[in-house]
Chain A
Amino acid sequence: GENVEQHPSTLSVQEGDSAVIKCTYSDSASNYFPWYKQELGKGPQLIIDIRSNVGEKKDQRIAVTLNKTAKHFSLHITETQPEDSAVYFCAAPRGFSGGYNKLIFGAGTRLAVHP
């Protein structure tokens, strides 16, 4: 089954710097890789996702890159702001059972952006 590892577990940056979070996955058949942001006291919310037919996707200050050969994908946040402080999770589907993507999550990265 799918195994997802996420690094680092904590990340502290100065406002305006970039932040990078990396995940590796084990199932070469996985083809969908979402990133979620969880703010304190709330449920996770999708911020960006990428499918296996592309290598990079950008949305304003965030981007995700995918290396299918190496089986890893990364979240890049540029020009970080204090409101980016949160816990970020990567995920990958554990195969498909009737078309359903059973998402397996990484352990999370707590990002702190200091003014």
Chain B
Amino acid sequence: NAGVTQTPKFQVLKTGQSMTLQCAQDMNHEYMSWYRQDPGMGLRLIHYSVGAGITDQGEVPNGYNVSRSTTEDFPLRLLSAAPSQTSVYFCASSYSRGGAGTEAFFGQGTRLTVV
């Protein structure tokens, strides 16, 4: 059972570079989301998707883009990396339950450093 798979696990970028963090899930979940984790600040929602072709902004969307062309994949793009984007990024997926909350399954994370 692969669950939620994130690649790469580690990445170092120079300021101004762009890159895409990959996320794939094999559980046929409708909902997918991206969080960043910074010390003392918990997990903050960047972007989320309620299904293929539908995305929306979370708490901290600036500097990031997402798209959802398939149910399985939800890549996160950094347009022009900044040191403030140094963080650990987590992708999560969950299933629909008619409006009620359901368990979110997290990937192992991508540790990104911007120098």
Interface residues of A (CB under 8 A from B): 6, 9, 31-32, 34, 36, 41-46, 49, 51, 89, 93, 96-108
Contacts and interface: CB of A to CB of B under 8 A. Distances in A.
Interface string B3-46: 01000000000000000000000000001010100001111110
B100 A31 contact: yes
B96 to A, nearest CB: 6
A96 B48 CA distance: 13
8 contacts: A9-B40, A41-B109, A43-B4, A44-B43, A97-B56, A99-B98, A101-B94, A103-B104
Interface residues of B, number: 32
B90 interface: yes
Contacts of B109: 41-43
A107 B37 CA distance: 9
B102 interface: yes
Contacts of B44: 105
Contacts of A99: 50, 96-99
A101 B43 contact: no
Interface of B: 4, 31, 33, 35, 40-45, 48, 50, 56, 58-59, 90, 92, 94, 96-109
B42 A107 contact: yes
Nearest to B106: A43
A32 B102 CA distance: 8
Contacts of A96: 99
Nearest to A33: B101
